Structure 1
Amino acid sequence: MDIVELHNRSVGAFAQLVQSVRNEQWSAPTPCAEWDVRALVNHVVGEERWTVPLMAGRTIADVGTAFDGDLLGDDPARTALIAAADAQLAAGTDVRTVHLSYGDESTDEYLRQLVADHLIHTWDLAAAVGADRSLDAELVAEVTLWFAERAELYRSAGMVGDPLPSSADPADALLAAFGRDPSWSPALDLVNRFGAAFDRCDLDAVLALVTPGCVFESTSPAPDGQRFEGADAVRAEWRKLFENTVEPRFETEETIVAGDRAVVRWHYSWRAETGGRGHVRGVDVMRLRDGKIAEKLSYVKG
């Protein structure tokens, strides 16, 4: 397929998706752990802004810091449409070589890099805002062939994460090659961040991920445990757990998310007085609300 057509389709798909982002979603997490939705869109708009001078034969030094910082302004959706249209127009110019940060590159290769970035970030954005995650099958096929020869180079440069287990589905297999979990969702991300904070015994980080009126049901005393309601009561109980346990470890074995509910199977261990490690295995049944954990009901094997 013509590379300019590939580029323009990928750019157009991303720009159209940006139009569906609701006001409250700009700060939502994305599969790119370091970026929220606004930062992700800003990154892609930045690439499109760069496309125009680079396709005109200018160098990185020529442009300097013109595209640093926030590029979205007060109307990110409109800004994304304008940047996309400018990049699509620039892609059709008669330039054979572009001057990139690592040296001169063929226009064909540069545009293929942009196609890949737009395609993967289209999925990132769709996953983050709950939109249709389906990817253009022709773009998936083209990027899959292109990336197969460059995957190790990208990973060694730290530009993509380690590959995840592949899939028979072409789009999911491509996402896995780019280090993306096709099952990622904001809810799954929330539960994973909560588990990581709990494992670090980072009480402030844990409490930042629960609602003010959160409910926690502990596993003891048997058989029914104890119920704590409200962030202050939950904080006090978890503080005791962290402070009174020697070398605690909280390891997630499996997470299942369905709508506003999550089930986490976990392994909790500590250094015992004998010098070995004691442990229990159990599950948390969670209820999620407004991007936070509203209920954590814990059960253990007994």
Structure 2
Amino acid sequence: MQQFNRAFVQHDKSLLDGLIAEDCVMESVEPAPDGTRYLGRQACLEFWQRLADSRDSQFADEDIVAIDDRAIILWRYRFGPGMSQSVRGVNVMRVRDGQIVEAFGYVKSGDAVAAAVRSATASDE
């Protein structure tokens, strides 16, 4: 979980390589109320790599707790001009054999953060 979190804090998407299981299931924080569901290693990895690589936003971890195969990451996400806006959120994750198999994101948000996340993770295609 430390390495996963560091990828976003340091904007280093290469740190995500090898951390995502083939059968990973991830639900992003938007759109409310259920988020977007991503299935499989490739879909989850691509989403997270785009988010980690984005220079239009910045993550700061507030706390990371790991118990057995579960992890909770509390974070603050900054975005907007001069990183002047922010929201707090949490990821609830499950790990198997050192790889992420489940990740569910929750955030205290509104339309502004949803737009920022969509922008940061938009595909260039």
TM-score, normalising length from structure 2? 0.76
Structure 1 residues 245 and 289 mapped into 2: Cα distance closer, same or farther (>3 Å)? same
- Does the 8 Å contact 1:268/1:281 carry over to 2? yes
- The answer on 1:296 being equivalent to 2:106 is no
Give the aligned partner of residue 39 of structure 2.
Answer: 229
Structure 1 residues 231 and 224 mapped into 2: Cα distance closer, same or farther (>3 Å)? same
Larger relative contact order (C-alpha < 8 A, sep ≥ 6)?
2
Give the aligned partner of residue 89 of structure 2.
Answer: 282
- Give per-residue Cα distances to partners, 1:89-119, cap 9 Å, x unaligned: xxxxxxxxxxxxxxxxxxxxxxxxxxxxxxx
Give the aligned partner of residue 265 of structure 1.
Answer: 74
- Give per-residue Cα distances to partners, 1:196-249, cap 9 Å, x unaligned: 122222222113212122121100011110110112111222244345551x32
Superposed counterparts of 1:117-196, under 5 Å: 191-196=1-6
Structure 1 residues 243 and 262 mapped into 2: Cα distance closer, same or farther (>3 Å)? closer
Amino acid at match of 1:283: V
Consecutive unaligned residues in structure 2, runs of 5 or more? 110-125
Higher strand share: 2
Percent identity over paired residues: 39
Higher helix share: 1
User: Shift in Å at residue 289 of structure 1?
Assistant: 0.4
Give the aligned partner of residue 249 of structure 1.
Answer: 58
**Structure ID, larger Rg:** 1
- The answer on 1:211 being equivalent to 2:21 is yes
Amino acid at match of 2:18: A
CA–CA distance in 1 between the matches of 2:34 and 2:26?
Answer: 12
- Give per-residue Cα distances to partners, 1:161-188, cap 9 Å, x unaligned: xxxxxxxxxxxxxxxxxxxxxxxxxxxx
- The answer on 1:220 being equivalent to 2:30 is yes
**What is the SS of the residue equivalent to 1:293?**
strand
**What is the SS of the residue equivalent to 2:24?**
strand
**What is the SS of the residue equivalent to 2:47?**
helix
- Does the 8 Å contact 1:214/1:293 carry over to 2? yes
User: Shift in Å at residue 269 of structure 1?
Assistant: 1.3
CA–CA distance in 2 between the matches of 1:292 and 1:221?
Answer: 26
TM-score, normalising length from structure 1? 0.34
**What is the SS of the residue equivalent to 1:255?**
strand
